[in-house]
Amino acid sequence: MASHIVGYPRMGPKRELKFALESFWDKKSSAEDLQKVAADLRSSIWKQMSDAGIKYIPSNTFSYYDQVLDATSMLGAVPPRYGWSGGEIGFDTYFSMARGNASVPAMEMTKWFDTNYHFIVPELGPDVNFSYASHKAVDEYKEAKALGVNTVPVLIGPVSYLLLSKPAKGVDKTFSLLSLLPKILPIYKEVISDLKAAGASWIQFDEPTLVLDLDSHKLQAFTAAYDDLESSLSGLNVLIETYFADLTAEAYKTLIGLKGVTAYGLDLVRGAQTLDLVKSNFPKGKYLFAGVVDGRNIWANDLAASLSTLKELEAVVGKENLVVSTSCSLLHTAVDLVNETKLDDEIKSWLAFAAQKVVEVNALAKALAGQKDEAFFSANAAAQASRKSSPRVTNEAVQKAAAALKGSDHRRATNVSARLDAQQKKLDLPILPTTTIGSFPQTLELRRVRREFKANKISEDDYIKAIKEEIKKVVDLQEELDIDVLVHGEPERNDMVEYFGEQLSGFAFTVNGWVQSYGSRCVKPPIIYGDVSRPKPMTVFWSSTAQSMTARPMKGMLTGPVTILNWSFVRNDQPRFETCYQIALAIKDEVEDLEKAGINVIQIDEAALREGLPLRKSEHAFYLKWAVHSFRITNCGVQDTTQIHTHMCYSNFNDIIHSIIDMDADVITIENSRSDEKLLSVFREGVKYGAGIGPGVYDIHSPRIPSTEEIADRINKMLAVLETNILWVNPDCGLKTRKYAEVKPALNNMVAAAKLLRTQLASAK
C-alpha cells in the first residue's frame, strides 16, 4: 500500500530559510549562500520522507517566496514595470515582484484560500508574452534524483493559475483570464517534456480552485486544458490534487472526466462529503490519493477512525489503487514535534507536526497492507482517550457564560453617527486624522530583551524598564511626526496572537512551532486545547503607561476573537464558533478594563475575519453571523465616547463589505494600497459607509518609501468616494517588519500628505 505527501514546510525546523532570505535581502550574504541553505533543506526533507517509507515524495513544493510566484516565473509573466528583458528569471526580478524595490511597488499579495498563508497575485492581460523563464521544477526534480530520490514534481495547474490571477492595471476588469489558456499551455508542455526527459514517471498538478463554486464555463476550462495536454502527458502518471473543501457534484464529475489523468487527490478532512461522491462513482482503474491526515492542524490523527475510512474506500477503488495521503500540503502546520522541549507530556501526546504526520501517513498505509504497528496504534488510541477525558480541557463556568450569549445580538445602544459625534467632542481630532495600525519596528535589541527575559537572564524590573524606554521612544517619534492618534508600538509582543494566548487559559505554546505566512515571515500559532478564559488583565498596564507619556489619544491594542481563532491551531472537538464566543468574552473583559483605565480609543484587530470565510458560498452566512457577533460581544458594553477601531489586512473584502459594516465598529482601517485600491470600488458602486474608515495609503510589506505626492494622490482617490469627515489616514498594516530608516520617512510623508489635503480642503470652502 502506497503513501503520499502533498507538500512540506519550507522554512526548516529552526527557520533556516527565513534567516538566509533576510541575510540575502540585507546584502549580508550572497545568492550562493542562500541557494546552499535551500539545497540543504530540500535534501533533508526528501531524505526524511524517503526514510519514513513514503512512496510518492513531492518536489518543486519548495519556494523562496511562494508557489504561485514560482508559476508566474515559470511562465515568464513578469509585469513590464520590473524591467525584465527575458532569459531565466533571477533573484532580482523574482524578489522585486514579491517585495517591490526602490522604484516600483510589489505585486498584490492576498490570502491563499482560507489559510493564513499568502500568495503573490499574477497580473495578466491579452498582451502578456508568456515564455518558459524558470526551469526550477525540472532542476529540483534532477536535484532529488541525484540524491537517489525519485520524486513527483508538483506544478500549480494551468486553470487554477489563471483563476487565481487578476487583470493587470489598465486591462479591462471584464477581461477573461481563462482566454489565456491557449497561451500558457505551450509553456506547460515544454515543462512536461523536460520532466519526462529527466526521468519523471509521475507529475502532480495542484488544482485547488476545483473546490470553489465554479460555473459551467470555468469547469469546462479544466476539461479543455487537460484535453489539450493529453498527448504531452502520455507516458506519465498524472495526479490532480485538490484540497481545503468538498467538491461539488459538478466539479467531481469534471475531475474524474479529465483526459490523461491517472489519479485524483482529495481532501477527506475538510471535504468529508466528497466521500459520498467517491463511493457512488469512482472511475475503474484510477488511483485515489485519500487525504485522511490533516495538513491544516496539529492534532494527532485518530488512526483507528482513518483506517476504518480507508477500508471503506479500499472496497470502492481497489486495494492497489488506494494511496494514503495528507489532506493538503503540510506547509500549513509546524515542522517537528521533536523540537518542542517545553510542552508537557500530556499535551504533547495529543499532537502531530509535519514530521509526525509523515509517520502517520506511512503507518496507515502499512496497516492497510496488513502490516499494522500495533504498539503505534495502541499509543495513538491512548492519546485520543486522554484528550477526551482530561479535566484541563473543560471549564464549566466558561461553557455556561458562552451558552448565556444566546438571545442577544450584543449591539451598542447608540448608532454609529451619534457615537462619532460624542467621540469627536472628547478627542477633538482634525479632519483626515492620522494614525498607525499598532506595531513599530522590532529591533534586534528589543528582541534580545524579550528573549533574555523569557530565559530568566534579566529581572522583571529590568525588562519593564527596557520596554518602557522603547514605548517612550515610539511615543516621542509619533509626536515629533505629528501623528494624531498614537500607539505604544507593541514592544512587549513578539506576535499579536501569541501574546494574548500566553495570557489566556486553554492555550498551549510551542518553542519552534513556526509556520510560514509569506516570504520570510513566520508565525507561531498558539494551540487552543481547552475552554478559554482571561485570568487577569493583559494589556492595561502597558496601555496606561503609554497614555501617561502623552496628551494625545493612545490606542489600546487588542487582537479580536475571530483573528485569535483563525490564527491558532484550534481544538477540533467542538464547533469553532463555540471556541470563538469563549475568546470574545475574554476580550470583552479586557476592553472594559482598558476603558476604566482611561483609554478612550481601543483597537480590536480582526485581520483574519475574511480569511476564515468558508470556500463554499452556501456556508458564508452562518460563518459571518457568528464571526461578526463575536466581534460585537467584545465591545458592546463601552460608553459612546469610547472609540472602537478594528483593522483588517490582505484579503478580498468587497464581497463581505455588508458584514464589515454590521460589525458596528466606530473606525475601520483596512488594506488598500497593494491591491490597486480594489476596496474603493465598492464605494464607487454605491455602498454607503457611515463609520470612520482608513483605507491604507501605503504598503508596509515593501521596503519602498512612498512620496508625499503619491500618498496625497491615494487620499484624493479616497475622497472621491468617501466623506471627508469619516476618512482616516494610515498605513496598510503594522510596522514591525520594517526598519526605522524606512518607517520614519514613510510616516513623515504620510502626515505631510494629510496636512496638504487639509489645507486644500480648507481653501476650497
Q: Is the dihedral of CA 396, 399, 405, 406 positive or negative?
A: negative
Q: How far is CA 255 from CA 40, 92, 247, 315, 663, in A?
A: 36, 38, 9, 21, 39
The string of DSSP letters for 689-738 reads --SEEEE-SS-TTS-----HHHHHHHHHHHHTTS-GGGB-B--SS--TTS
Q: How many CA atoms lie within 13 A of 515 on its CB side?
A: 28
Q: Which long-range contacts (CB under 8 A, 24 or more apart) does 21-30 make?
A: 21/64, 21/519, 21/520, 22/520, 24/91, 25/95, 25/99, 25/520
CB 216 within 8 A of CB 250: yes
SS3 476: helix
521 is an annotated ligand-binding site residue: yes
490 is an annotated ligand-binding site residue: yes
SS3 110: strand
522 is an annotated ligand-binding site residue: yes
Q: Report d(CA 326, CA 444) in Å as an integer.
A: 38
Q: In what order do the strands lie in the sheet with 505-508?
A: 505-508, 527-533, 569-570
Q: Report d(CA 450, CA 470) in Å as an integer.
A: 12
Q: How far is CA 425 from CA 169, 418, 642, in A?
A: 42, 11, 11
Q: Report d(CA 128, CA 77) in Å as an integer.
A: 7
Nearest alpha-carbon partner for 646 in 610, 684, 620: 610
Decide if 488 is catalytic: no
State which amino acid sits at residue 140.
E
30 is an annotated ligand-binding site residue: no
SS3 607: coil
733 is an annotated ligand-binding site residue: yes
Please list the alpha-helical segments (H only) found in 108-215: 136-146, 158-163, 181-198
Look at the chain and count its residues. 765
Q: Can you tell me which residue has the cell 471556541?
A: 579
Q: Which long-range contacts (CB under 8 A, 24 or more apart) does 113-116 make?
A: 113/208, 113/244, 113/615, 114/244, 114/611, 114/612, 114/613, 114/614, 114/615, 115/244, 115/296, 115/332, 115/611, 116/332, 116/515, 116/517, 116/523, 116/525, 116/566, 116/567, 116/608, 116/611
389 is an annotated ligand-binding site residue: no
671 is an annotated ligand-binding site residue: yes
Q: How far is CA 545 from CA 445, 463, 475, 548, 553, in A?
A: 21, 14, 11, 5, 13
Q: In what order do the strands lie in the sheet with 555-559?
A: 555-559, 601-605, 643-648, 667-670, 692-695
For the packed helices 91-99 and 16-25, what is the interaxial angle rounded to 10 degrees? 100
328 is an annotated ligand-binding site residue: no
Question: What share of residues in the chain are helix, strand, coil (percent, to 5)?
Answer: 45, 15, 40
410 is an annotated ligand-binding site residue: no
Q: Report d(CA 22, CA 89) in Å as an integer.
A: 20
CB atoms within 10 A of CB 378: 11
Contacts of 271 (CB under 8 A, 6+ apart): 211, 242, 243, 244, 245, 246, 247, 291, 327
Catalytic residue among 4, 332, 488, 701: 701
Q: Report d(CA 566, CA 626) in Å as an integer.
A: 13
438 is an annotated ligand-binding site residue: yes
567 is an annotated ligand-binding site residue: yes
CA-based R_g, the chain, Å: 26
299 is an annotated ligand-binding site residue: no
Q: How far is CA 387 from CA 215, 483, 580, in A?
A: 43, 50, 20
Residue 189 burial (C-beta neighbours within 10 Å; 0-12, 13-18, 19+): middle
439 is an annotated ligand-binding site residue: yes
CB atoms within 10 A of CB 286: 14
What are the cell numbers at 81?
A: 514595470
Maximum Cα–Cα distance across the chain: 83
The string of DSSP letters for 273-309 reads THHHHHHH---TT-EEEEEEE-SS--BPP-HHHHHHH
Q: What are the binding residues?
A: 18, 116, 437-439, 490, 521-522, 567, 605, 647, 649, 658, 662, 671, 733
Give the annotated binding-site residues for L-methionine.
437-439, 490, 605
**Which residues are designated catalytic?**
701
Binding residues for 5-methyltetrahydropteroyltri-L-glutamate, by number, are: 18, 116, 521-522, 567
User: Which residue numbers belong to the known binding site for Zn(2+)?
Assistant: 647, 649, 658, 662, 671, 733
